Amino acid sequence: MKLKSLILCALALAVGTSLVFAATQASKKDQNQTANNEISTNTFESVSDSRAESSNQPGVESLTKPVVQEYFEAVVNEEILSFNRVFSEDAVITVVSRELDTLEKRMRFATNEVFGGAYEVYRAEQTHNGIRMLLRFTPEGWNRPEPLAVYDFKIENNLITQANLQYATDEDLDYFENKTLEDTSLIPYGFSKYLEGVEKDQSEILILGFTEDGRVLDVSRTIEGRQAIKRWADKEVLSLEYSVGKIVFTKKGARLYNNIRFGQNTSGFYASYDLDLKEGLIHFSDLQYAKSSDFNFR
């Protein structure tokens, strides 16, 4: 089904006790505990050095990944070194009233409470010194997610210096109600170029978000290669408006839930874009219908 016909069809038509961070996950995978025991207090130095080396490689600087994305990717992939390197040496994570102010405490938080779980980030705003997010977390082995939470990251030199993790209040929910994600550092580079191309009505910009052999699955139709994607975008995408209402980081890349409209005064429809990313660019994008409940947090 073509995206344009997809649009026309669409237009015709408990509070938990842990909040990601209460130490309820005592039994974690043996490999995580082993990593926790083996990594010394010199870990910060080694991971910081490797991070600096990678950022100095030719051509990498322009695609430096925002640290907030690195945080969620480290959790998804359960990589303790990657998790540690997103924080400054003296970083403090505040979990409700509990302060994690050492490398060892941050490592235990990662391996005992966060790894194996799933984040859904619904809304966010850039602040003068970082990013503030409304999200939901489902710990490993849980059938239901924890209550909504607000994560406030203070960031300096692309490192998290403070992370304040709190339950969301009714005031928080009202505050985030009309905010979305498309203008935040949570959006992967490839999809940010896609959105920029749509906003500027330039398919030449949009295709820069794809690898040369990138593919798009538009419901059941496959578009292969940058030039074919450009023709598809010219005919079916550039006239649209996008709001991103939820992002879930995956082992392949990210899955984004969008409200897609013809204009500001149309309700449009909801679609999920499941992205397979390679070095920040979209290698494969699976576009499917979604529900309003996938986009909205209440």
Give residue 290's pLDDT: 98
DSSP reduced 3-state for 148: coil
45-76 confidence digits (pLDDT tens): 444 444 444 434 333 335 789 999 999 999 99
Instruction: Using pLDDT thresholds of 50, 70 and 90, give the confidence band for residue 132.
Output: very high
Give residue 101's pLDDT: 97
Categorise residue 19: left if φ over 0, alpha if ψ from -120 to 50, beta otherwise: left
Please say if the pLDDT value at position 237 is more than 90: yes
Rounded mean pLDDT of 146-162? 98
**pLDDT > 70 in the chain, percent:** 79
Give residue 266's pLDDT: 79
What are the Cα distances from residue 84, in Å, to 1, 28, 45, 69?
44, 18, 10, 14
Q: Which residue has the tokens 């490999």?
A: 31
Please say if the pLDDT value at position 13 is more than 80: no
Rounded mean pLDDT of 231-251? 97
* Residue whose C-alpha is closest to residue 141's, from 116, 114, 110: 116
Rounded mean pLDDT of 208-214? 98
What are the Cα distances from residue 93, in Å, to 98, 121, 174, 184, 286?
8, 18, 25, 22, 35
Beta strands 87-95 and 210-218: pairing type? unpaired
- Can you tell me the distance from the alpha carbon of 175 to that of 160, in angstroms, rounded to the nearest whole number? 24
- Can you tell me the distance from the alpha carbon of 138 to that of 14, in angstroms, rounded to the nearest whole number? 13
Domains of the chain and any CATH numbers: 30-176 (3.10.450.50), 187-290 (3.10.450.50)
What is the reported pTM? 0.82
- As given in the structure block, the two tokens for residue 218 are 């538009």
Rounded mean pLDDT of 144-157? 97
- As given in the structure block, the two tokens for residue 284 are 């494969």
Rounded mean pLDDT of 136-151? 96
